[in-house]
Structure 1
């Protein structure tokens, strides 16, 4: 990828072409999809560059960070699949690499003989702590947007995700008696 900016926005040009070809009703949707996909590429490149010295992919980082957030440092594989919204095969591959590298242990579930737990090792806890510090410093604290724009974007994308069936609003909790 070139480091210098292009003289025009290729996504705006693509939208213009959609309109010129009579695809008016699809032009905004095409612009949304291609814009979000390009933004994902840009952000992932920054994340990958930050995680490279730690020999972590973002998928491996997410699993380690999720485990580190738990009280016990362990979680059933099925719960990790649900929380990270990944395919079980992808998690299985990620878990195998974490175990191979000594960052996690795969253990039998204490109450369900069919299930397995993934547990963070001390090395995994240390690595994810250092990687989180780097991501916070190099990526998350400066995503390339103002705080207001970041908040607006998160809200907009949350609506898109909710409308796609990604999650539901939590049920209201009754007031205590």
Structure 2
């Protein structure tokens, strides 16, 4: 299922161009600089990121969430106890501690998360999901899944292939190790 109805978000609008500007740039690139496959692919990844974030924003904004805050809530629901140290949240989501603190502050203000001292680490802080946070993440997840996370134009097999291809780039960059088993949210 493709993204249905209306614009794809306030930040990214459907251009409806009669040609693909990335493909056109690739043709010019080849004449000026040489092979363009890497430029085309990288530019396409950036454009698709804009499109996906705009689609996620459409779904999440009415719930008072951004995708970053939604990810925090999902991670907390994956935790056996519904709570995690802020440093673990940052590590799992691969974001800077300042970004985690900002997201947690907003989620606390919305009543989706509470903050408490970490008894295992006197200076550390735990974030715990509230009942209200669980309810909003359930509704938002249902809506994102109905949208196929913005990738409904691709069949399941192609989505799996896309993940595998992008994971190879992430492995090459040292983002993740080249291993299959993933640690739990608790790990």
| Higher helix proportion | 1
Say whether the 8 Å CA contact 1:50–1:138 is kept in structure 2: no
What runs of 5+ residues in structure 1 fail to find an aligned partner?
A: 173-177
Compute the displacement of 1:152 (Å): 1.0
What runs of 5+ residues in structure 2 fail to find an aligned partner?
A: 1-11, 182-187
**Superposition pairs for residues 90-129 of structure 1, below 5 Å?**
90-129=99-138
Higher mean displacement: 43-52 or 81-90: 43-52
Say whether the 8 Å CA contact 2:151–2:159 is kept in structure 1: no
Whose RCO is larger (CA < 8 A, sep 6+)?
2
Deviations 1:69-88 (A, max 9, x none): 11110000010000000111
Number of corresponding residues = 170
Cα distance in 2 for partners of 1:88, 1:2 equals 32
Match of 2:155 among 137, 140, 146: 146
Give the greater-gyration-radius structure (CA): 1
Is structure 2 residue 105 aligned with structure 1 residue 64? Answer: no
Show the counterpart of 2:166.
Answer: 157
Moved over 4 A (4+): none
Q: RMSD of the TM alignment (CA)? A: 1.7
Per the normalisation by structure 1, the TM-score is: 0.90
Per the normalisation by structure 2, the TM-score is: 0.85
Say whether the 8 Å CA contact 1:104–1:119 is kept in structure 2: yes
